[in-house]
C-alpha cells in the first residue's frame, strides 16, 4: 500500500506541478514577448531618436515630425543674427539676436523670463543663411507628452498592442496546457467512465484496452478490468448454479411427486376397501417407505441450504472408533448387495475435536454412496490413516469410474450424483452435504481414481480449530 501511495504522489501530483510550472514559465515568456512586440512597434514607428537638427537635415523624417510635435521650430540667421527664414510654428516675436541672447538660448537659466526658450545652433553651409537656430519652450517636453497622450492616443495604442498580444498568448498557453492535461487526465477518465457506463447498462465482461496515462489510471484500469472479470465470472457462476438448482429442484419435485402419488393411491385404495385384508400390511409398508423417501428428500434439501447456519458442536472423539461403528451399521446393506466390506482401521486411538453428528452423517453419506452406485464391482473399502498432523478417512469401491468431465462438479450442491454414476434414486445432494460438513471442520473432501477404485478421501486437521 505504501508503494502505491508513493506512485500516486509521483503521478498526477507531479503532472499537475509540472503543468503549473510550465504555465508560469510560458506566462512570463508571453509577458516578455508582449513587451518586446509593443516596444518594437513603439520605437520602430513613432519614437524616432531625438535630433534637434532633423528639421534642417531631413524635414520629412520621424525625428523632424517628433520635433514639430514637441513645439520646436527652425530659424535661419544671417551673419548678424538677423532672422531671414522660419520653418515651423514660431512661438515668440524675436526678429534678431545679440550674441548674449544667443548664449542665453544655448545655456538657459530656469525661471528667468528671457530664458523661457532653449536653442540649438549650428553654422549653415552656404547662402544668405549663416546660422541655423532650433528653438523650443523650456517646459515643452512635459506639455508635449501630455498633449500627445490625450490628443493622438499614441501611448494608448501601444498599451492596447501590449494587452492584446499578452491576452492572445495567455489564451494560447491556456489552450496548450488544457489540451495536455486533457490528454493525460480527461481522456483516461472518459475511457473509464465509458467502461462503467457499459457495466451499468448490463454489458458483461467489459475490458478496457491499454491507454497512455499516469500510474494511478493504470492501476484504476487494471482494477476495473479485474473487477469486471470477477463480476463476469461471478455472474456466469451464479447463472450456472441457478440453472443447476432449477434443474435439481425440477428433478426433486418429480422425485417427490412419485412417492406422494403412490402414498395417495395406496391410502385411497385402503380407505375405499379395494385392498384385500391380507395385503393391508404390505400397502402400509409401501406407504411408510415412500414417506421415508419424501422425508429424506426434504431433509437433504434443508441440510444443504442451511449447512452454514447449523450449530457446530465440537467434542473430543476417537475418530477410529467412530468410523468402525459406522461401518458396522451398514454391513447388512453391503452384504445384501453382494459386496464385501474391507476395513483397514487401526486399533490405536485417533482423537480429534469434531462435531460427531455432522461428521457421522458425512461418513454415512460416503458409505451409502458406495453401496448405492457400486453395481459392477465386488467390494467397498474403509480405511483411516494419520499423516503427520492430518487424519485421512477414505471410502473406496471398485465400481464404475466417474467420468472425467464430471469430477470437477460432483461436490457442487446442485449436481445429481446419478448423472455421474449409473443408478437411480438419490437427491444429488449427498456429496455436497459431505463437502460442506468437512469444510466446517476445516478439512477437505477429494475424489480420485486409483488402482481401478473410486476413492473418496476426507482429510481433517489433527488439531481442528473450531468456532462454537
Per-residue pLDDT reduced to its tens digit, 88-107: 888 888 888 888 888 888 88
Q: What is the pLDDT of residue 5?
A: 41
pLDDT in tens, 116-156: 788 888 888 767 888 888 888 877 644 343 434 443 455 66
Q: What is the pLDDT of residue 378?
A: 92
Q: Say if CB 134 and CB 53 are below 8 A apart.
A: yes
Residues 6+ apart with CB under 8 A from 17: none
Would you say residue 421 has pLDDT above 80?
A: no
As a whole number of angstroms, the distance between CA 456 and CA 346 comes to 19
Would you say residue 415 has pLDDT above 70?
A: no
3-state secondary structure of 124: coil
- E-state strands within 125-171: 131-137
Would you say residue 43 has pLDDT above 70?
A: no
Looking at the DSSP assignment, which residues form a beta bridge with residue 457?
394, 446
Question: How far is it between the farthest Cα atoms of the chain?
Answer: 174
Tell me the domain boundaries of the chain.
54-140, 204-308, 310-461
The average pLDDT across 44-56 equals 65
**Of 59 and 450, more confident:** 450
CATH domain 204-308 topology: Helix Hairpins (1.10.287)
3-state secondary structure of 1: coil
Q: Please tell me what DSSP assigns to residue 61.
A: S
pLDDT in tens, 261-315: 888 888 888 888 888 888 888 888 888 888 888 887 787 777 777 777 778 888 9
Nearest 5 degrees, angle CA 9-CA 10-CA 15?
A: 100
Would you say residue 467 has pLDDT above 90?
A: no
Distance between alpha carbon 110 and the CA centroid of its chain, in Å?
A: 80
The pTM of the full predicted model, rounded to 2 decimals, is 0.48
**In b/e form, how buried is each residue of 310-328, taking b as 16+ CB within 10 angstroms?**
eeeebeebebbebbbebbe
pLDDT in tens, 192-227: 777 777 777 777 777 776 665 556 667 777 777 788
Q: What is the pLDDT of residue 270?
A: 87
Confidence of residue 60 (pLDDT cuts 50, 70, 90): confident
Per DSSP, the residues of 330-348 read THHHHHHTT-EEEEE--SS
**Of 260 and 68, more confident:** 260
Would you say residue 354 has pLDDT above 80?
A: yes
As a whole number of angstroms, the distance between CA 135 and CA 68 comes to 11
pLDDT above 70 covers what percent of the chain?
79
The average pLDDT across 372-389 equals 89
Report the CATH number of the 310-461 domain.
Answer: 3.30.565.10
Would you say residue 328 has pLDDT above 60?
A: yes
Would you say residue 394 has pLDDT above 90?
A: yes
Would you say residue 45 has pLDDT above 90?
A: no
pLDDT in tens, 338-350: 999 999 999 888 8
Q: Name the most confidently modeled range: 17-26, 204-213, 442-451.
A: 442-451
Q: Please tell me what DSSP assigns to residue 138.
A: T
pLDDT averaged over every residue in the chain: 78
Amino acid at each position: 500500500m505504501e508503494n502505491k501511495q508513493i506512485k500516486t504522489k509521483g503521478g498526477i501530483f507531479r503532472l499537475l506541478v509540472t503543468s503549473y510550472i510550465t504555465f508560469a514559465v510560458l506566462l512570463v515568456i508571453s509577458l516578455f514577448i508582449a513587451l518586446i512586440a509593443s516596444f518594437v512597434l513603439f520605437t520602430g514607428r513613432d519614437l524616432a531618436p531625438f535630433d534637434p537638427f532633423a528639421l534642417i537635415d531631413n524635414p520629412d523624417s520621424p525625428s523632424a515630425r517628433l520635433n514639430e510635435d514637441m513645439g520646436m521650430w527652425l530659424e535661419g540667421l544671417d551673419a548678424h543674427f538677423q532672422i531671414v527664414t522660419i520653418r515651423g510654428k514660431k512661438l515668440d516675436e524675436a526678429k534678431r539676436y545679440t550674441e548674449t541672447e544667443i548664449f542665453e538660448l544655448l545655456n538657459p537659466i530656469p525661471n528667468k523670463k528671457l530664458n523661457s526658450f532653449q536653442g540649438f545652433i549650428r553654422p549653415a553651409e552656404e547662402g544668405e543663411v549663416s546660422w541655423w537656430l532650433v528653438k523650443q519652450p523650456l517646459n515643452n517636453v512635459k506639455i508635449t507628452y501630455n498633449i500627445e497622450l490625450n490628443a493622438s492616443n499614441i501611448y494608448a495604442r501601444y498599451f492596447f498592442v501590449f494587452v492584446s498580444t499578452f491576452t492572445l498568448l495567455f489564451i494560447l498557453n491556456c489552450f496548450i496546457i488544457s489540451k495536455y492535461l486533457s490528454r493525460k487526465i480527461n481522456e483516461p477518465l472518459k475511457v473509464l467512465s465509458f467502461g462503467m457506463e457499459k457495466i451499468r447498462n448490463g454489458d458483461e465482461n467489459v475490458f478496457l484496452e491499454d491507454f497512455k496515462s499516469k500510474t494511478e489510471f493504470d492501476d484504476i484500469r487494471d482494477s476495473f478490468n479485474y473487477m469486471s472479470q470477477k463480476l463476469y465470472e461471478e455472474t456466469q457462476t451464479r447463472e450456472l448454479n441457478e440453472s443447476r438448482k432449477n434443474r435439481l429442484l425440477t428433478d426433486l419435485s418429480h422425485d417427490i411427486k412419485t412417492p406422494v402419488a403412490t402414498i395417495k393411491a395406496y391410502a385411497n385404495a385402503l380407505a375405499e376397501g379395494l385392498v384385500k385384508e391380507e395385503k393391508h400390511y404390505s400397502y402400509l409398508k409401501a406407504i411408510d417407505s415412500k414417506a421415508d423417501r419424501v422425508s429424506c428428500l426434504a431433509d437433504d434439501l434443508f441440510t444443504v441450504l442451511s449447512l452454514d447456519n447449523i450449530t457446530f458442536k465440537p467434542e473430543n472423539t476417537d475418530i477410529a472408533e467412530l468410523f468402525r461403528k459406522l461401518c458396522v451399521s451398514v454391513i447388512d446393506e453391503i452384504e445384501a448387495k453382494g459386496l464385501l466390506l474391507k476395513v483397514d482401521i487401526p486399533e490405536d486411538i485417533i482423537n480429534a475435536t469434531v462435531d460427531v453428528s455432522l461428521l457421522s452423517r458425512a461418513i454415512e453419506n460416503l458409505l451409502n454412496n458406495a453401496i448405492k452406485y457400486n453395481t459392477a464391482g465386488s467390494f467397498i473399502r474403509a480405511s483411516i490413516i494419520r499423516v503427520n498432523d492430518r487424519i485421512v478417512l477414505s471410502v473406496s469401491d471398485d465400481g464404475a469410474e466417474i467420468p472425467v468431465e464430471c469430477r470437477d462438479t460432483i461436490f457442487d450442491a446442485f449436481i445429481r450424483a446419478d448423472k455421474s454414476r449409473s443408478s437411480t434414486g438419490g437427491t444429488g445432494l449427498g456429496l455436497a452435504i459431505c463437502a460442506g460438513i468437512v469444510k466446517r471442520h476445516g478439512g477437505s473432501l477429494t475424489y480420485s481414481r486409483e488402482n481401478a477404485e473410486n476413492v473418496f478421501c476426507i482429510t481433517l486437521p489433527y488439531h481442528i480449530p473450531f468456532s462454537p
